[in-house]
Structures are given as C-alpha cells and as structure tokens.
Structure 1
Amino acid sequence: MKGYLYLFIAIFGELIATSSLKASQGFSKLVPSLIVIIGYGTAFYFLSLSLKYIPLGISYAIWSGVGTALTAIIGYWFWKESLNIAQLIGIILIIAGVVLLNLSKNASA
C-alpha cells in the first residue's frame, strides 16, 4: 500500500507540474516555472520511491497513463481546451489499460 501512496503523490506532482507548464508561458513567468520544477522534482522523487514496492512496468504505466488522462481532463476544465469523442475514447482506453495492468498483476501474485 505504501508504494501506491508514493505513486499517488508522484501523479499529483506531475499533474501540478504539467498543468503549470502552460501558465509558465515557455518558462517566462517565474512562479509557474518554479511550480513546474518543484512539481516534476516531487513527481520523480516519489515515483522512484514507489519502485521499491511496485514493479517498474506497472508503476510507470500507472503514472504515465493516469497522468495523461487526468492532464487531458484538466486541460479541458481549466484551460478550456477541446476534447472530442476520439480523445474521450482514448482516455477511457488508457484508464482501462491501467485497470487491466493492475488486475493482471494481482492475478499473477
């Protein structure tokens, strides 16, 4: 369970950092740029801690998949970016893939 807590913190850090990239305007704004640096530092640190408990492939798939799906949703809600049906299906498939990876890991354990 500890590994998944670390992974959740890593995902949260990555979401904050990635969302702040747009606000940094190419690293020309100081505060959003600092948030990006701190967020990614936090994300990679806690991702590395999660690897003590969760296999690399599973950990990275969850981190990148959930991060990608949630970043697309954040872009839609906060940045008013478009989200068409094909993109929504892609997000659903990413989430389904993450669930399948976790289920298959538990079944083989």
Structure 2
Amino acid sequence: MKKWAILGAAIVAEVAAALALRAAIDDPGWAVLTVTGYIGAFVALSTLLRAGAPIGVVYGIWAAAGVALTAVLGTVLFDEPFTLLIGIGIAVVIAGVVLVETGSHHERPQESLERAEVAR
C-alpha cells in the first residue's frame, strides 16, 4: 500500500509541475512549482525503484496517469481542446500500461527452471 501512495505522490507532483509549466507562460513565478514538482516526482520514482518496484510498471503507470490527468486538467484549467482523438490516445496509453502490468507478472523461463531444480 505504501508503494501505491508513493506512486500517487509522484503522479500528483508531475501533473502539478506540467500544469505549472503551462501557467508559467503567463506568469513566470509558476516556474518554481514546475522545478519543485519534477524534482519531487523523480525523487518519489527513485524511491519506488529502490524498494524493488519494476521500472516498466512504475514508469508506465506514472506516465499514463500523467498524460491523462494533464490532458483533462489542461482542458479544465486552460481551456485547451479535448478531442475524440485525444481521448482515444489516452485510452491506448492506458491499455498499454495494463498490458505491461499484466506481462510483468509472468515468470521468466529461467526462474521456472531454477524453481524446478530447487524442488528436486
């Protein structure tokens, strides 16, 4: 459960940084949140990797959630377009993450052989 909380914090930090980057176009003061958010996101991601979380899964979830949330919040906060193609793109990204997550739980052939040898 702690890993999910850290991943959630990384997602929130990255989305805040991306939105602040957009806001910095009109007010450069937002650049501070941009830098802070990205630093926080990468610290959280590195914490997850040190804890043994697989990089493909962690990065996939982080990136997909970041893309989806940034697109939706960009529409709400900055009146940016949200088209059918953007929605389809987000769905494809999410589907890709689901496939990576599902595939990460399959045992490697070498691990299967090692377990069979230990069982003898």
Report the TM-score when normalising by structure 1: 0.86
Query: Of residues 45, 48, 58 in structure 1, which corresponds to 2:46?
Result: 48
Asked whether 1:94 is paired with 2:93, we answer yes
- Aligned residue for 2:15? 15
CA contact (8 A) 1:66 1:98 kept: no
The 5-angstrom pairing of residues 1-109 of structure 1 reads: 1-25=1-25, 29-30=28-29, 32-51=30-49, 52-106=51-105, 108=106
Size of the alignment, in residue pairs? 106
Unaligned runs of 5+ in 2: 108-120
User: In structure 1, how many angstroms separate the alpha carbons of the residues matched to 2:5 and 2:103?
Assistant: 20
Query: Identical aligned pairs, as a percentage?
Result: 35
Q: Which has the higher contact order (CA 8 A, sep 6+)?
A: 1
Give the SS at the match of 2:81. Answer: coil
In the TM superposition, residue 95 of structure 1 has moved relative to its aligned partner by 1.6
User: In structure 2, how many angstroms separate the alpha carbons of the residues matched to 1:53 and 1:18?
Assistant: 27
Q: Cα deviation per residue 1:13-41 (whole Å; 9 max; x = unaligned)?
A: 00000000011118x622x1111111111
User: Which range moved further: 90-99 or 76-85?
Assistant: 90-99
CA radius of gyration, larger in: 2
